[in-house]
Amino acid sequence: MQQSRGCRTPHDVKQGEQAVGPSDGELWADEAFTELFERHAEAVWNHAYRLTASWTLAEDLTSMTFMTAWRRRHELTLVRDSARPWLYAVAGFLARTEFRRAHRFHALVARLPVGRDVADHADHVADQVDSDQGMSRVLLAVDRLPRAEQEAVRLCLLGDVPTADAAAVLGVAEVTVRSRLSRARARLRELLQDEV
């Protein structure tokens, strides 16, 4: 998966794409998990990257998503015989958990006494930071939305999941998801305009 970083856009892995071979439901039922992983790992990584704007964190979230899927495989909700929307929802939950953990960690570090100076590695990090800045601004704005709108944005706008599938995963009507997306887009325009 590391060689595919940045090579495929989220649109290369299309939501409605018909997979060759057994359906996701059959793979899940037969516990042919390796094939299910190979089918969806890149799409989950792309989704995790869009949520975090970090290659490393996207890899970690992809691994954690499939570990969670394996442990909770009996709770899976297939949408049109596809596990992808459920996997995206798990990745979104794990990303939120990771952001909360990181926030607590940074708050703790800020309270620690200042120690000796550490060598500056800014040149090494600068290239990766430049590519992640735009996405980070958007993600910060998404984090300021109400939770219901965040879920809709993460699934539909960042995850490219159709509104009907997102509604099935979230357990709400499709019109509710569309309404949340409409409100979220308006709020995001305002939030991002205020930063410019």
What is the secondary structure of 113-148 as a DSSP string?
Answer: PP-S-----HHHHHHHHHHHHHHHHHHHHHHTS-HH
Reported as a pLDDT band with limits 50, 70 and 90, residue 5 is: very low
Cα separation, 169 vs 137, whole angstroms: 27
Cβ-based burial of 99 (10 A; exposed 0-12, middle 13-18, buried ≥19): middle
Q: How far is 49 from 55, CA to CA, in rounded Å?
A: 6
pLDDT for position 1: 42
pLDDT of amino acid 117: 57
Q: 192 or 86: whose pLDDT is higher?
A: 86
Q: What are phi and psi of 172, to 5 degrees?
A: -130, 170
Retrieve residue 9's tokens. 């856009």
Question: Model-level pTM greater than 0.85?
Answer: no
What does the block give as tokens for 178? 């569309």
Neighbours of 151 (CB within 10 A): 22
Dihedral sign, Cα of residue 26, residue 28, residue 29, residue 30:
positive
Among the residue ranges 13-27, 140-154, 155-169, the one predicted with the least confidence is 13-27
pLDDT digits (tens, 9 = 90+) for 97-133: 888 888 888 777 777 666 655 556 665 566 566 556 7
The helix/strand count (H/E) of the chain reads as 8, 0
Q: What percent of the chain has pLDDT over 90?
A: 36
Name the residue among 141, 139, 150, 132 with its Cα closest to residue 56: 132
Q: What is the mean pLDDT of residues 182-191?
A: 91
Measured at the alpha carbon of residue 50, what is the angle toward residues 49 and 51, in degrees to the nearest 5?
90
User: Among 36-50, 72-86, 109-123, 182-196, which stretch is predicted with the lowest mean pLDDT?
Assistant: 109-123
> Going from the N-terminus, what domains does the chain have, and what CATH number goes with each?
21-112+133-195 (1.20.140)
pLDDT of residue 13: 46
What rounded mean pLDDT belongs to the chain?
A: 80
Q: What are the tokens at 168?
A: 């099935």
Comparing C-alpha atoms, which of 53, 65, 1, 51 is closest to residue 161? 51
